[in-house]
């Protein structure tokens, strides 16, 4: 996809709250590494509402259509005003059907020392399709609420194929298909049935098991090392991915990728943290980890691995950690430590 001398255009969205601070840190690090990215800065979130009256304005969408690649800070969807979730709009606009959330133990001494899980979540269907409505009862216009979920054979087949191909490419050994087909027999039954059908194409390559979501949630906290790749539906993936992040220190280290056939968007999955915005204490490591995933995506896994090694060394060898990880280093100190590691000044 890329030769080492070719610049790759990337839509860069600083975002809201601490977003601009962590984006500045990550761009500084990537540029210092000589990463082959050409940044096209665009606005989204609250800043875009002020400028364009839309949290996801057309110039930003056009940029992603052109680049097919974006790195974004956390975004805040304005409350009221009829604005839909920016992240959901991005997924729908670019058909980003696969959400990829890796989590691995980085810091020793916690409850778990051997977590290495990748959760792959279907990103467009399920109970997040937004088919919600109220039914009036007596004098109450909101007397009952009804929500419908949609899983399609084609959508289930697409995400299952992605997960199995990902597992093979990344030398993973096992996929756990997570569902609730014992109760939601049609909605998650079609997902389970389709995923098991796809699994037959990977006989002798990938071990396959299936688990009901509540049992999976319990087993994750009892013995997370039994899991390798988890494949699941939209709602379950949203919940379990945050649970898995909690096993390895929380969202401060959690990257995410949203992958489609024609675009990919990489992000820190934590929020915009407006309570600490502008204080210079935000942790850039989740977004930097997302940037490492972006490097992998453009066939520069050499850069991705260098970034992951630097993060490990700063946390484990140098013991430089932000407040959310039990330390007291600020954003500039963490950035300087990462740069020092990446430039071999040790």
Contact by Cβ (8 Å): 52, 62: no
Determine the Cα–Cα distance for residues 192 and 194; give it in Å rounded to an integer.
6
Cα distances from 180 to residues 2, 100, 124, 169, 305, in angstroms, run 41, 21, 18, 28, 36
Determine the Cα–Cα distance for residues 188 and 149; give it in Å rounded to an integer.
10
Say which DSSP state 234 is in. H
Q: Which residues contact 214 (CB under 8 A, 6 or more apart)?
A: 180
Contact by Cβ (8 Å): 45, 86: yes
Burial class (CB in 10 A: 0-12, 13-18, 19+), 95: middle
The residues carrying an active-site annotation are: 128, 180, 214, 238, 242
Bridge-based pairing state of the strands 98-104 and 126-137: unpaired
Cα distances from 187 to residues 52, 122, 125, in angstroms, run 39, 13, 10
End-to-end Cα, the chain, rounded Å: 33
């Amino acid at each position: 996809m890329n030769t080492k001398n070719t610049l790759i255009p990337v839509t860069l969205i600083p975002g809201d709250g601490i977003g601009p601070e962590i984006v500045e840190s990550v761009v500084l690090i990537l540029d210092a590494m000589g990463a082959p990215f050409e940044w096209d800065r665009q606005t989204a979130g609250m800043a875009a509402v002020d400028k364009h009256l839309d949290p996801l304005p057309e110039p930003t969408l056009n940029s992603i259509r052109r680049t097919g690649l974006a790195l974004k800070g956390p975004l805040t969807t304005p409350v009221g005003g009829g604005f839909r979730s920016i992240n959901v709009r991005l997924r729908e606009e670019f058909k980003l059907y696969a959400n990829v959330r890796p989590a691995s133990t980085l810091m020793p001494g916690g409850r778990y020392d051997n977590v290495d899980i990748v959760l792959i979540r279907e990103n467009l269907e399920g109970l997040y399709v937004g088919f919600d409505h109220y039914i009036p009862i007596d004098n109450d216009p909101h007397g009952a609420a009804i929500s419908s979920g949609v899983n399609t054979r084609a959508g289930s087949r697409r995400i299952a194929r992605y997960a199995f191909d990902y597992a093979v490419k990344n030398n993973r050994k096992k996929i756990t298909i997570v569902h609730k087909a014992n109760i939601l027999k049609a909605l998650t039954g079609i997902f389970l049935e389709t995923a098991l059908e796809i699994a037959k194409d990977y006989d002798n390559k990938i071990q396959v098991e299936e688990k009901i979501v509540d049992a999976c949630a319990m087993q994750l906290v009892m013995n997370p090392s039994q899991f390798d790749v988890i494949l699941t539906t939209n709602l379950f993936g949203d919940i379990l991915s945050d649970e898995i992040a909690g096993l390895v220190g929380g969202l401060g280290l959690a990257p995410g990728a949203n992958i489609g056939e024609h675009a990919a968007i990489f992000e820190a999955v934590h929020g915009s943290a407006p309570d600490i915005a502008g204080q210079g204490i935000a942790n850039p490591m989740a977004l930097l980890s997302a940037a490492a995933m972006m490097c992998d995506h453009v066939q520069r896994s050499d850069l991705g691995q260098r970034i992951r090694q630097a993060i490990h060394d700063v946390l484990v060898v140098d013991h430089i950690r932000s407040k959310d990880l039990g330390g007291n280093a600020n954003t500039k100190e963490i950035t300087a430590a990462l740069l020092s590691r990446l430039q071999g000044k040790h």
